């Protein structure tokens, strides 16, 4: 039987409190990760990747918590991670995905990208200070079929600019980065920005590949 993902919307309930110390992986970020500010997971408008990631992680005995917040911007990321470090004290891995909402909210792409990466850096530091490991994924493209051509051009330019710099940052810091930008196509979206079930599976698969390598390395170094 596949373990059920633990959702932060349920915190405070007896079941959540009994299970939170057993969580191994915390997925934090915006609506690409979860809609915990919308209510119970069964009412969410779209499936998200942590549910599919949980299925992939069963053979490794890893249990996932979903802490995604729809509409979240990177400025809130550091506090989100600090909260989750307390909420899931025994988690060994954190997966971050942020930046889509920032890029869509501010016109200065260079300044916005710098801000996103700076906030991700603070999130990483909080995790690493506690001896835990992090995995990031980049900002996916939008569903280009739902936008006029001039908007598509702008969306691509923003994401290309940011994702190149995010990759450079991760390379400099030695942080594993999952590439979902190149994998998600128009048919993998349920609306303009949010993946459908197939898109969520793709994100889960790319994150799982990177996370598996991190987990294997951690196991080997502990022997």
pTM (predicted TM-score)? 0.95
Task: Quickly list DSSP for 5-53.
Answer: PEEGGGTTSHHHHHHGGG--EEEEESTTT--TTSSSGGG-SS--HHHHH
Low-confidence ranges of the chain (pLDDT < 70): 1-3, 222-223
What distance in Å separates the CA atoms of residue 134 and residue 212, rounded to the nearest whole number?
12
Domains of the chain (ranges plus CATH)?
6-221 (3.40.50.1110)
Give residue 2's pLDDT: 58
Cβ contact 154:147 at 8 Å: no
Give residue 219's pLDDT: 81
Give residue 223's pLDDT: 67
Give Cβ neighbours of residue 219 (< 8 Å, ≥ 6 apart): none
Give residue 100's pLDDT: 96
């Amino acid at each position: 039987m596949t373990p059920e993902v633990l959702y932060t919307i349920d915190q405070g309930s007896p079941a959540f409190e009994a299970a939170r110390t057993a969580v191994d992986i915390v997925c934090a970020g915006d609506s690409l990760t979860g809609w915990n500010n919308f209510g119970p997971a069964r009412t969410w408008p779209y499936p998200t990747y942590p549910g599919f990631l949980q299925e992939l992680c069963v053979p490794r005995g890893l249990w996932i918590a979903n802490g995604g917040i729809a509409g979240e911007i990177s400025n809130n990321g550091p506090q989100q991670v600090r909260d989750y470090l307390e909420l899931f004290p025994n988690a060994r891995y954190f997966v971050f995905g942020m930046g889509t909402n920032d890029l869509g909210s501010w016109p200065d792409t260079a300044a916005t990208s710098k801000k996103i990466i700076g906030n991700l850096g603070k999130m990483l530091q909080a995790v690493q200070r506690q001896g835990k490991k992090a995995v990031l994924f980049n900002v996916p493209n939008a569903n280009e079929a739902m936008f006029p051509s001039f908007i598509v051009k702008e969306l691509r330019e923003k994401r290309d600019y940011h994702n190149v710099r995010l990759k450079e940052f991760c390379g400099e810091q030695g942080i594993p980065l999952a590439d979902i930008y190149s994998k998600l196509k128009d048919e993998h979206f349920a609306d303009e920005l949010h993946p459908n079930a197939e898109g969520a599976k793709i994100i889960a698969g790319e994150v799982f590949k990177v996370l598996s390598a991190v987990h294997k390395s951690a196991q080997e170094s502990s022997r």
